[in-house]
Amino acid sequence: MRAENGLRVLSVYDGFFSGGARIVHSDVVLGLMEGGQHHRVLSIHGEVHREATRQRMEDDACYRSLTATGVGVTSLGRVLPASGDPAIFTGPELAETARAMAGADVILSLKEQPLALLNQAGLPRRPVVVCLHRSDPENQGSSLADLKAAIADGTVAACVCCAESTRAAYEAAGIPSDLLHVIPNGVDLLRFRPDPARRLALRTDLGIEHPAPVVVYAARYDAMKNVPLFLRAAAAWLRRTPNGHVLMCGAGMTAANPALDADIAAALGPDRRRLHLLGVRRDMETVYAGADVVALTSTWGEAAPLCLIEGMMCGAVPVTTDVGDSAAIVAGRGIVTAPDPDTIAAAWTAAVTDRAAYAPALAASRELFSRTRMIASYAALMDRLHTAVPTAGRTP
């Protein structure tokens, strides 16, 4: 029976590991809980080894924020990567999934990867909302085929796209346009805001003088992020800016990652004194507040990069390559560059010089990127879907 005080929702995650999509989705869950819905989370993997980092579910910031607020989180206990076919699930795994689904009115799938599980025969029939956070469905392995199969089966009630580039890419890949709903990413404006005290605290902690220009790069170590391009730009900028500092945050952004170490050696050589490797941080509002520029050098896959939004809301000027919705996000608020190290370095210098001039546009855009707006849109969509008459199977 449906809970008296609200919709019962089960979110299915592929796993808990560092990344913008999990941060956004977990924040949506918390926001919908605040509005009276009842949420639980099922994670397929309990531990993930990627970006040269071992990431246990229990150590993850999203897991901790969910459980601290009363969201029940369970896991099938898988470890990624693992041997064997990832689409083959055991009887106990399917039984646990069936129990979790039986207690829900609606299923939220964090990206399309969990559909390999949700498409298994014999599971309870529930409307599934697939939350899409990239703009390259062709690079998602078998997940696009899983999404099309779930649509043909009538299981998928909607796909939430975090960006217009996501909607366009999935429509081009054959997903019916009437299933694709765009809800842009938003952030907590109380948390992400300019803060002189945080700015001073970060710089004091890292030994950076207060007037020194700082560029922050928040990304996991992944080919789509084009870390070598960022480092070549950093080398060019540091040569031109004797008092400048560069901060790198995210999974794999540590000296323990041999691939990153090789990239740094190739770009900067032995002098790394003004390059700070911070790894995964749980205080990104402080990191962004301490920076003058938030940089992104991705080549593909991005949709609505959370780092650009969070950094802007903290007063850092965004400088990005033209990927996904990045150009639209920074329009009038920052700089879009060609994927060339010297061009990027020059853009960072311009952003630092003109930071005060960008401040009014950044302040005026805060409501556009608000968490409140995002969560209200999710709630309205889910209420509509739950009250709608279920549709028969369809062919994408």
List of residues 6+ apart from 26 with CB closer than 8 A:
62, 65, 66
What number of residues does the chain have? Answer: 396
Q: What angle do CA 312, 313, 316 make, to 5 degrees?
A: 40
Nearest to residue 348, comparing CAs of 292, 305, 310, 287?
A: 292
Residue 321 Rama label (left phi>0; alpha psi -120 to 50; beta): beta
Instruction: Report whether CATH 3.40.50.2000 matches the domain 8-186+371-387.
Output: yes
Which H or E element spans position 80?
A: strand 72-80
pLDDT of residue 391: 44
pLDDT tens, position by position, 102-148: 999 999 999 999 999 999 999 999 999 999 999 999 998 899 999 99
Q: Tell me the CATH class for 196-369.
A: alpha beta
Structure tokens at 175: 């997903």
The residue with greater pLDDT, 393 or 148, is 148
Structure tokens at 131: 């939350």
DSSP string, 22-77: HHHHHHHHHHHHHTT-EEEEEEEEEEEEETTEEEEGGG-HHHHHHHHTT-EEEEEE
Mean pLDDT of the region 53-80: 96
Give me the residue spans of the domains in the chain.
Answer: 8-186+371-387, 196-369
pTM of the model as a whole: 0.94
139: number of Cβ within 10 Å: 12
The residue written with tokens 């790198």 in the block is 248
Domain 8-186+371-387 matches domain 196-369 at the CATH topology level: yes
Question: Percentage of the chain surpassing pLDDT 90?
Answer: 91
Rg (the chain; Cα; Å):
21
pLDDT tens, position by position, 341-371: 999 999 999 999 999 999 999 999 999 999 9
Whether 163 has a pLDDT exceeding 60, the answer reads yes
Contact between 363 and 317 under an 8 Å Cβ cutoff? The reply is no
pLDDT of residue 52: 87
